[in-house]
Structure 1
Amino acid sequence: MARRHHGDVTRPAPGTGIKLHFKDSKGNLVKTIEANEGDDILSLAHEHDIDLEGACEGSVACSTCHVVLSPEHYDLLPEPSDDENDMLDMAFGLTDTSRLGCQVQLTRELDGMTATLPSATRNMFVDGKKPTHH
Structure 2
Amino acid sequence: MPVSPDIELFLREQLEGRVHTKRMFGGYGVYTDVKCVAFLLNDALFLRPLPEIRAYIEGTGHDLVMDGPVKGAKSYYRIDPDLWEDGDWLMGLIRTAHEVIPAPKPAAKPKAKPKKTHRESGKD
Q: TM-score by structure 1 length?
A: 0.32
Kindly indicate which of the two structures has a greater share of residues assigned to strand: 2
Q: Greater CA radius of gyration, 1 or 2?
A: 2
Q: Greater RCO between the two (CA within 8 Å, min separation 6)?
A: 1
More helix as a share of residues = 2
